[in-house]
Structure 1
């Protein structure tokens, strides 16, 4: 199963973070709109990512719910009919919840930098470091955290879905 190292954190200044990421990537980034539907499953997380253009991906992943850099193992299957796949999976497994976001994607070497505006949550960033040995992935992730001004106290555990469910349980 493929893997990457991930970091997720709250972004306090969206514009400043976008500027830093643009400088590092030497690009303005690409805007991607996503609707992730999470399904009930016995281990890990299963989500259907709908790109809102008739395409999507079914993604299964496992990663620890800790802050800081963490190893994520995943499997991805593309789909050209996310709507009907959502119906089948909803009927079979039940829906845990949904996350809607606007993602600004920057690429820096083997790393994807995501600046996400998540509906009902706010601004977050994710780093995903790919195709390097795990020790190198961790070094790259820590280095980019520093360059982007991401502080330890802003690190987040879990997935956006967990944060949304936590918020709805506290209301």
Structure 2
């Protein structure tokens, strides 16, 4: 039968290495039930976008093969139209995983890293151990906390900037874009 709800499911995480993303080794197996189906529905905006990207990559997923996989991804795509907020969708999935004690080993495969280029990526153990790569906090925040300072390094940077005369002057200075008048 082509019923995707009877299939075995797993989640995979991707290392965002600059030389190319790759799937990490450990999978997180999930059992489909009404709660899980509801959670997937709530995360459908994120999943649909990731599936669209991964279809164009070398990453192979079972949900891209056969009629059952097609029905599942079509179901996700359909529900993504109802839940268009990508960030909320991502945070819902991430929060659900962080709250699940069984997912700890699975999630520990990735580290939130600040690269020498200034970019912040999620990297596996191998790629996060490079020179001049800084491991950052992986604390989860909620939508209501957006705009607040979350990480210890952010607090320290704010303290240092608060004592800088140059920073204070630049903050008080009029923005150069304030005088620009756009045509109507």
User: TM (normalized to structure 1)?
Assistant: 0.24
Of structures 1 and 2, the one with the larger relative CO (CA 8 A, separation 6+) is: 1
> Per residue, is there more strand in 1 or in 2?
1
Q: Computing the radius of gyration over CA atoms, which structure comes out larger, 1 or 2?
A: 2
